Amino acid sequence: MTLANHNLIWVKANLRNAQVKAADAAGRSQNQKVVRFWIITMLLVLFGLSTLKLR
C-alpha cells in the first residue's frame, strides 16, 4: 500500500468517526426536543380537559 493510499484511508476513517459522532449528538438532542414537545402537549391537554369543569 502506498503512503498516499494509507493517508487517504486514515482521513476517510476520521471523517466517518466525526460523522457518526455528529449524527449521534443530533440524535441525542433530537430525543430531548421530542420529549419536551410531549410534555408541552400533555400540559395543553390538561388545560383543555380543565375546560370541562371551569365554566
Partner 1 sequence: MLLALANWIAADVRAFNVFTYITLRSVLATMTALVISFVIGPRMIRKLTEYKIGQSVRDDGPQTHLIKAGTPTMGGALILVSIIVTTLLWADLRNRFVWVVLLVTLGFGTVGWIDDYRKVVQRNPKGLSAGKKLVLQSLIGLVAAIYLAFSVSAPSTSQFLQLFQAWLASGLSVDLSPKADLIVPFFKTVSYPLGVWGFIILSYCVIVGSSNAVNLTDGLDGLAIMPTVMVGAALGLFAYVAGRADFSTYLFMPHIPGAGELTVVCAAIAGAGLGFLWFNAYPAEVFMGDVGALALGAALGAIAVIVRQEIVLFIMGGVFVVETLSVMIQVASFKLTGKRVFRMAPIHHHYELKGWKENQVVVRFWIITMLLVLFGLSTLKLR
DSSP states of 30-47? HHHHHHHHHHHHHHHHHH
Site string for partner 1, 1-40 (x = CB under 8 A): ---------------------------xx-xx--xx--x-
Q: HSE (CB half, 13 Å, CA atoms) of 14?
A: 5
d(CA 17, CA 22): 9
Q: Is 42 in the site for partner 1 (CB under 8 A)?
A: yes
Q: Is 53 in the site for partner 1 (CB under 8 A)?
A: yes
Residues that bind partner 1 (CB under 8 A): 28-29, 31-32, 35-36, 39, 42-43, 46-47, 50, 53-54
